[in-house]
Structure 1
Amino acid sequence: MLKNKELFNLEQQMDWLENKLKYQRLQKCDLHQGQPEILAYIYLHENCKQLDIAKYLGVSRATIGVSVRRLKKQGLIDVHAHENDARATSLTITKQGTKRLVQSDMILDEFITKKYKNFTEQELDAYIHLTKKIVNNLKRVYKEDER
């Protein structure tokens, strides 16, 4: 049980630092946390609906709605009536949105490189392996909680 507390504290510190550092970096390209993922989804799934993004990211439609309004206001996405569902809207990424997505990808890639700077190839492989196990455990718990 003592290790649980240490793990919890380390994960909390890492989450806080990572979120803070990513937010600072994303401000350079005038994006908020979570928006690069939304832009990437729209880029890969042209004419998608907000509900599609919410399901994919595991967040509420309201959360996506706030980001969509911000992204539209910045001219990064276009919102138009969905051709098959009069109640829904379709989302497409603009040229400016694509540029901003590429810029954010470069910023986040540089961040990941710095985050794992002193790791050997073996340590990275081990970390990836262990992280996959953790993700699978969390998915299992999530499914159990949904029942």
Structure 2
Amino acid sequence: MKGKLDDSASKSLHRAFIRTSKMHRKVCQHRFQELGLTEGQPKVLDYLHHHNGCSQKDLAKHCHIQPATATSLLSHLERSGLIYREANQEDRRITNVFLTETGFEAQKQVKQTFCEIDECCFVGFTKEEREEVLGYLNRMYENLKRRES
């Protein structure tokens, strides 16, 4: 059938995604453990770097985590001195989240780590091949996203 992958090709794509995803996650977890960060915390630090002072609710939504998970992650980050939370001045029901100076430094290490892992993933790739891979992955994501809607 035109436009459809045969069964062996689709399984092969599935296996490639799973294998690559697991290895990427393993490398990331190891590197972030060395920085004293647990799973989920790097993406929270990265989001706060770009949205410092956002609401706890928005942070959970944009990091694709449940509110209870966000509360737990933020409590740990707060105890570690990487963030602080304040009640919103206009609506006391809202809690805003901010990076501390230590949090900004940790986020720089997170960014550096992601860049190093990206470089490791792309060893032996030309600039054009890197762009193609990212383009293909983004197109696949959009295809799947459209199917979900």
Q: Which residue of 2 aligns with 1:139?
A: 145
Q: Give 1:2 deviation, angstroms.
A: 1.3
CA contact (8 A) 2:29 2:38 kept: yes
- Does the Cα contact within 8 Å between 2:46 and 2:110 map onto a contact in 1? no
Describe the SS at the equivalent of 1:78: strand
Question: In the alignment, which residue of structure 2 is the partner of 1:28?
Answer: 34
Alpha carbons of structure 1 residues 45 and 76: separation in structure 2 relative to 1, 3 Å: same
In structure 2, the residue matched to 1:50 is: 56
The aligned amino acid for 1:83 is: Q
Query: 1:113 maps to which residue?
Result: 119
Question: Residue 54 of structure 1: SS of its match in structure 2?
Answer: helix
Letter in 2 for 1:131: L
Q: How does 1:1-147 map to 2 (within 5 A)?
A: 1-142=7-148, 144=149
Greater shift, 13-22 or 128-137, is seen at 128-137
Partner of 2:3: none
* Alignment gaps of 5+ in structure 1: none
In structure 1, C-alpha distance between the alignment counterparts of 2:86 and 2:128, rounded to whole Å:
48
- Structure 1, residues 77-130: CA drift from partner, whole Å, max 9, x if none? 011111122222111100000011101111111111011111122211221221
RMSD: 1.3
Structure 1 residues 141 and 84, CA, compared in 2 at 3 Å: closer, same or farther? farther
Q: TM-score scaled by structure 2?
A: 0.89
Taking structure 1 as the reference length, the TM-score comes to 0.90
CA distance in structure 2 between the aligned counterparts of 1:8 and 1:40, rounded to whole angstroms: 29
Structure 2 letter corresponding to 1:31? L
Identity %: 27
- Distance verdict in 2 for CA 1:110–1:84, change over 3 Å: same
Give distance in 1, aligned partners of 2:23 and 2:77.
25
Query: What residue ranges of structure 2 are gaps of 5+ in the alignment?
Result: 1-6
Question: Deviating runs (4+, > 3 A) in structure 1?
Answer: none
Conserved 8 A contact 1:76-1:94: yes
Further displaced range: 95-104 or 116-125: 116-125
User: Is the CA contact (8 Å cut-off) linking 2:85 and 2:96 kept in structure 1?
Assistant: yes
CA contact (8 A) 1:40 1:101 kept: yes
Kept in 2: contact 1:78–1:94 (CA 8 A): yes
